[in-house]
Amino acid sequence: MNSTGKWFAAVLATLPLLSAGCGTEEAQPSGFLQEGKTGMVEDERLPFQRVWYKQNADWTKYNAIRVAPVHTEYLSKQDWWDKVNEAELSNRQADVAKIADYIQKKFTDAFANDENHVLKIAQKDGPGVLVLEIAIVELVPTKALLNAAGYAAMGSAMDQGSIALEARIKDSATGEVLVKIADREEGKASIVNVKDLTWYGHAYDRIDEWAEQAVEVANASENETVDDSWDFTLAPW
């Protein structure tokens, strides 16, 4: 067997171990969504763990969206593992602020660059404008030192880091909540992943996917399914 064949054989041998750990645990309610997850359900048509949406909402009257600055004050308390990482982090607050800004920009750009222009970007609230409010409720860095020591090759989910968001979509003119979303994602498992050697590379990947999924959902018909992303990647970067 040549080197390429051996590499793919290694990938295929690892897939059962990875799939056995599929099914990311949900994050605990943060308080951002005032009623917690009450009434929120798993909808197989959507790529999020929990959703709620107002029945019979008239979506035809909305043609624009504003992505609000992202909340960071709802981040969950860190456990001892996180504190080990934080001791080696030069400025966690700066990292969180940077990621929050990235989320706002990424979602804004995703809607702005939508070829169908289902929702244009609004600079201020008003009739016909939706506002998307997002909170980061969990942000766990990759266990970079363990990964550097070789644990990444084991495909262990505990080394991948995680990020969880809660979000709501409101009528910007009335303040009425139309949609609530909660989702938590771990970093993608891989045979070798350069991003596992960074603190938050996994988070940026998941944010990119969330932004793309938000636009796909906005474009989807009522009974159309928007698939979730894979938890495994062959790309090492």
Highest mean pLDDT among 104-118, 131-145, 151-165: 104-118
Q: How confident is the model at residue 82 (pLDDT cuts 50, 70, 90)?
A: low
Q: Which has more confidence, 153 or 79?
A: 79
Cβ atoms of 186 and 202 within 8 Å: the answer is yes
Domain boundaries, the chain: 27-219
Position 199 scores a pLDDT of 67
Q: pTM for this one? A: 0.75
Position 93 scores a pLDDT of 81
Q: How confident is the model at residue 135 (pLDDT cuts 50, 70, 90)?
A: very high
Position 7 scores a pLDDT of 32
Query: Per-residue pLDDT averaged across 10-29, rounded?
Result: 51
- Range from 50-54, 58-62, 154-158 carrying the lowest mean pLDDT: 154-158
**Domain formed by 27-219, architecture:** 3-Layer(aba) Sandwich (3.40)
Residue 215 has pLDDT above 90, yes or no: yes
Q: Which has more confidence, 78 or 69?
A: 69
Position 10 scores a pLDDT of 36
